[in-house]
Structure 1
Amino acid sequence: MVLKHLVGKTLLVLVLTALCSVSSTSAHAQLLGGNANPLILITIPAYPRPNSDVTVEVRSTSVEIDVSDIGWLEDGELSESGLGKTSHRTHVGDKGSSQTVTAIVHTPEGRTYEQTILIRPQSISLIWESSSSVPPFYRGKALYTSTNPLTITAIPEIFDELGEPISASQLSFIWKLNNKTLSNKSGYGKSSLSLTEPILRTPATISVTVQSRDGLSVTTGSLSIDQSQPLVLIYENSPLYGILFNQAILNTFTLRGTEAGVEAFPYFFSGMRQKLGFSWNVNGRDIEGLSSSYITLRNTTGQSGTATAFISITNPSSSFESAGNGFNINITQPEQ
C-alpha cells in the first residue's frame, strides 16, 4: 500500500541534515513552498555511538501519523513500511561513517510528507583520576575523597562531514557537575576538568557535551563518582623479604619469634605520607615518642600470650582526614 503511494507521485521533499547527536527538534525544516514541515525525526539514543543500534522515531503534532502509511528509507533505499509504522530500527557504522534515514508519511487524506535525518555516530571516553595517596606498587586506582583534587579528562572521537577527525582544540567542551554548568571551566579545547573544592553531594555526576565550531558534530558523555574514605592497612616488614604488600594484617598477627616489625600505610589521604601524623597504641596505652608508621613488636617475657595494637593516622593540614586500624597479636613461645 505504501509503495503504491510512493511511486508515481511528485513528492515535496525536504532533507533535514541533523547529526546523530542533534535531534531534529533543534533544527528547522521547511517544505518547498514555504510551509513548515510537520514531521520531526528523533534518534534513540540521542547520541548514537559507532557500531550500535539506533531507533529513529517520526513525530508530529498536526499529522495523524498513527493512521498513516509510513515508509522508511536508509540512504535512499526502502527498508520497511507499514500502517502506523512510527519507528524504525537501524544499525549505524563505524566512527567517521554516516547514513541518512528518511520517513515518508502518506495520510488517509492523500497528503505526503517526508523528513530525513543524517546519523553520524560519534564517541567519547571520560577518564578520572584522584591525587590521593597510595603505597608503592599499588596496582589499583587512587580513590576520590572529599579533600583530594579530582581531574576528569574527555577523549572525544568526533568527525566532520568528510569523515575526518576533529582536533580537540577545535571542539567546545561544556562541563556540568550534578547538572550545574561549570561556565568558568568550559570552552574550546578544555578537554580536562580539574575540581579542587570538595564535592558536597555524592555520588557526583559529571557530564560533558562536546561539539564542533559549526555545531553540527556533537556528542556527550557522563560518569558517576562516589566519595571514599581514607583508610589504613598494616603489613609485616620482614627483615628478609621487606614489606609484605601481598598480605595485609587484617585481624590477627602471629608473633613467632622474639620480635617482628609491622608498618602502616595510609590510603587515599590528600597529604604526603611523610607529612601525616602517626600514633600507636598497644594494649590500650599510647606509645609515647613513637610518631612513625613503623613499630617493632617484641616478646619480652619469652612466654605465649595475646596483645592488641592500634594505629591512628591524621592529616595536620585537614581536620576532616583521619583513619585508624588495629589487630590482635597472637604471641607464641619462641623456640629454644
Structure 2
Amino acid sequence: MRIKFLLIPLGVLAIFIAFLAPNVLAVSPSSISVTINPPNPAPYASVTITLSSFAANLDSVNIVWLEDGKTVLSGVGKKSYSTTTKKENVETRIEARIFLPDGEINKNISIRPAVMVLLWQANDSYVPPFYKGKALPTADSEIKIVAMPEIVVSGSKITPDKMTYSWKLDYNNQPSDSGYGKNAFVFTNDYLESSNTVSVVASTTNQQHSSEASINVTTVNPEISFYKKDAILGTLWERALFNNYLIQGEEIVIAEPYFISPKNWRRPELIFNWSINNRSVVVPNYLKNLMSLKTAEGVTGTSILRLNIENTDKIFQTAKKEINIQF
C-alpha cells in the first residue's frame, strides 16, 4: 500500500492555520474611545457622546444607545448620541452597545453635571466710601478670580480647598497657578486688551467628578466725578456736580477718581493736574483732590474747571474731567 502525502506550501499553511485559530486580534473595549462634549456640562445643558476607534470600522456596525436603562437610539453607524443633562449632581447613565463581527462591546458613561461659581474683584481699583457698586478693573489692573465649585459626592459637598484646579487665561494654560487647593487665580490684565477670559476646571482628587466654568472680565477707563465738600456735612455724595454748576461765595470741590489704580490715590505716582480756563492751578500734594473756588463780589460769568490725572507707573491709565462753573 502506497501512502500519499499532501504537500502544502508554507504560506498557504500559515493562512489556513490563522483561519482556524481563535481571532486573538479581536477589538478590545480599550480600543474604542469615548468623547463627551462639553466634557464638564452644566445642569440642563446639551451634551453629545461620540465613539471612535482606530481598530474597528464603527460606520458599518450596529450600535445601540441606552439612557438610564432605556433604549434611545440604535442603528448602523450611530456613533454619536446627544441628550440633556439633569439638575446639578444628578447622574445620567449612558450605555453604548457596539455589535462587532467579533462580538459585543459595551461602553458605560456617567454624566453628573455640577455648578461652579466664579467670583472676581479688582484688587487695586479705587472707589469712594459708601459706593454701592463694584470696583472695576482698568488697564494694567490686578484682578483676582475665586472658584466656588459645588460638587456633591455620596451626599457630602466637597469643600473647594480639597479639589484640584486647572486654570487658563485667554485659553492658555497656567500651570504655576494650577494644582491642589488652588481655587484662587490672580493676574494683571494686559493694557493692550480690553477684556480677558479666565476658565477653570475643578476636579476631585480621583478625577471622577469635575466642574468647569469661565468668565470674561472687561476693563473700563477711570472716571472722575466732582462733588461739593460742605463745611458742616462733609462731602455731599448723593449728587455729583453737573455742567453749568452755580457756586455762590466760596466752595470746595472734591474730585473722586473712580476705578483709578492704585486704589490709594494719594500715592505719588498719581499726578493731579488742575486748571481753570486752561491756566494751571497748583495745589498741595496732600490735598491734590481738592479745589477751592471763590467768586469775587459782583462778578458773574463762566469758567471751565478741568482735572487731568496721570499715572507715572501706568502710562495707559489716565482720567480727565471738566465742567463749566457759573458764578
* Residue 217 in structure 1 maps to residue 176 in structure 2: no
Matched-pair contact (CA < 8 Å) for 2:189–2:196? no
Helix, strand or coil: the match of 2:176? helix
Cα shift at 1:86: 3.5
Match in the other structure for 1:119: 111
Q: TM (normalized to structure 1)?
A: 0.75
CA distance, structure 1, for counterparts of residue 84 and residue 156 of structure 2: 21
Which deviates more from structure 2 when the two are superposed, residues 213-222 or residues 263-272? 213-222
TM-score by length of 2: 0.77
Q: Trace 1:241-252 onto structure 2 (pairs within 5 A).
A: 242-249=234-241, 252=243
User: How far has the Cα of 1:266 moved from its partner?
Assistant: 1.0
Report the counterpart of residue 323 of structure 2 in structure 1. Answer: 327
Structure 1 CA distance for aligned equivalents of residues 130 and 310 of structure 2: 23
1:157 matches 2:138: no
* Equivalent position to 2:120, from 120, 128, 137: 128
Distance 1:84 1:33, change over 3 A: closer
Report 1:63-142 matches (<5 A): 63-106=56-99, 112-131=104-123, 132-142=125-135
Is 1:194 the counterpart of 2:190 in the alignment? no
Distance 1:204 1:41 in 2: 32
User: Deviation at 1:227?
Assistant: 3.2
Alignment correspondent of 2:222: 230
Contact 1:96 1:163 in 2 (8 A): no
Is 1:97–1:163's contact at 8 Å kept on the other side of the alignment?
no
TM-aligned CA distance change 1:163 to 1:79, over 3 Å = farther
Q: Which runs of 5+ in 2 are unaligned?
A: 1-23
Read off the aligned partner of 2:257 and give its amino acid letter: P
What's the CA shift for 1:280? 1.8
Aligned CA distance change for structure 1 residues 234 and 200 (closer, same or farther; 3 Å): closer
Post-superposition shift, 1:242? 4.8
Q: Deviations over 1:215-271 (max 9, x none)?
A: 222232222223333332222335676534344345x13215334432210122223
2:293 to 281, 297, 313: 297
Q: What is the CA distance between 1:130 and its match in structure 2?
A: 0.9
Shift of 1:133: 0.7
> Residue 276 of structure 2 aligns with which residue?
282
CA distance 1:325–1:101, shift in 2 (3 Å): same
Equivalent residue, structure 1, for 2:309: 313
Residue 265 of structure 1 aligns with which residue? 256
**Runs of 4+ residues over 6 Å off in structure 1:** none
Once the 2 structures are TM-superposed, how far is the Cα of residue 110 of structure 1 from its aligned partner?
Answer: 8.8
Equivalent pair of 2:28/2:105 in contact (CA under 8 Å): no
Q: Distance in 2 between matches of 1:55 and 1:82?
A: 17
**Partners of 1:148 and 1:269 within 8 A in 2:** no
3-state DSSP of counterpart to 1:184: helix
2:38 to 41, 45, 51: 45
Supply the AA of the counterpart residue of 2:280.
D
How far has the Cα of 1:326 moved from its partner? 0.9
- Counterpart check, 1:177 vs 2:169: yes
| Count of equivalent residues | 296
Does 183-192 or 35-44 show the bigger shift? Answer: 35-44
Taking the aligned partners of 1:115 and 1:255, their CA distance within structure 2 comes to 77
Shift of 1:62: 4.8
Deviation of the 1:211 alpha carbon: 1.7
The Cα shift of 1:47 comes to 0.8
